[in-house]
Amino acid sequence: MRAYLAFTKKELIEYTRNFKMFLAITLFALLGIMNPLTAKFMPELLGNFMPEGITILITEPTNLDSWLQFFKNGTQIGLFIIVILLSGMMAKEYEKGTLINMVTKGLPRWTILFSKFTGALLLWTISYWLCFFITLGYTLYYFPEGTTENLTLSVISLYLFGILLIAVLLLGSVLFKNAYGPLLLTGAFLLVLFLWNLFPEAAEWNPFVLVSRNMDMLQGTLLLEDLLNPLLITGLIIASSLFTAGKLFSKTTL
């Protein structure tokens, strides 16, 4: 346990020194600010830039528009940022050979792997929830009359999908000793999820529901009981990715 905590601390210090923590926090904080501001002022901007003689009807923005921006930016930008930042989580260790001394001195390979996962998970957790709470604060300020009964379910769903991608990235980092292989594996995994939706009977098990139907959750048309199947598959993929990564890493030549 002591070795696990020490190596996890080393990972967090490394994220600080290579500015990945700074970049993640800064970019996610900016997203948190932009989400409600975009929802609040975009209708006015559109109206000002429309050519003369052209009129469009734009409904008054609500808190749902702010959360729409949150899920849109979180899925299209936030997850992309995290995947890029974490794509080389093992590459430099392989390149510099820093793991050889640790393993020869008795540090278990499973400890190294789960410390890597924990460090990546903490980076995602801090960044994501910072973005959420900033968005929440500004949304309550600009849209105090709005209500969001199922907000917890929708934001946790997106958060869990981020953990899923981190697990897949870690597996890719073990399979490929560079920063590009994990990106390709993650891209292939997402492609499989897209193709999964082509089969209606199997689509209800697709983990992609966790990031594609957040507004349905927020509006109460998609409930927790409707997500049990994709949540189960998500958990199984995370566990199997970590288990497979551990098995492969224990046999990998450093």
In the chain, the amino acid numbered 14 is E
Residue-wise over 148-180: b if at least 16 C-beta within 10 A, else e? bebbebbbbbbbbbbbbbbbbbbbbbbbbebbe
Q: What share of the chain is helix, strand, coil (3-state, %, to 5)?
A: 80, 0, 20
Contact 249, 113 (CB under 8 A): yes
The DSSP letter of residue 148 is -
The DSSP letter of residue 179 is S
Q: What is the pTM of this model?
A: 0.92
List of residues 6+ apart from 181 with CB closer than 8 A: 172, 173, 175
In angstroms, rounded to a whole number, what is the distance separating the alpha carbons of residues 16 and 165? 22
Provide the pLDDT for residue 79.
94
Instruction: Provide the 10 A C-beta neighbour count for residue 228.
Output: 12
Signed CA dihedral, 89, 18, 97, 181: sign only: positive
Provide the pLDDT for residue 60.
77
Contact 91, 178 (CB under 8 A): yes
How many residues in the chain? 254
Provide the pLDDT for residue 139.
92
Question: What parts of the chain have a pLDDT lower than 50?
Answer: none
CA angle 221, 225, 231 (to 5 degrees): 105
Which is nearest to 117 in space by CA: 86, 95, 92, 78?
A: 86
pLDDT tens digits, residue range 5-37? 888 898 899 899 999 999 999 999 999 999 998
Contact 179, 170 (CB under 8 A): no
In angstroms, rounded to a whole number, what is the distance separating the alpha carbons of residues 129 and 135? 10
The long-range contacts involving 203-208, CB below 8 angstroms and separated by at least 24 positions, are 204/229, 204/230, 205/229, 205/230, 205/232, 205/233, 206/230, 206/233, 207/161, 207/164, 207/233, 207/234, 207/237, 208/161
Provide the pLDDT for residue 236.
97
In the chain, the amino acid numbered 45 is L
Read off the tokens for 182: 């994990």
In angstroms, rounded to a whole number, what is the distance separating the alpha carbons of residues 81 and 70? 15
What are the Cα distances from residue 120, in Å, to 17, 25, 114, 160?
15, 13, 10, 13
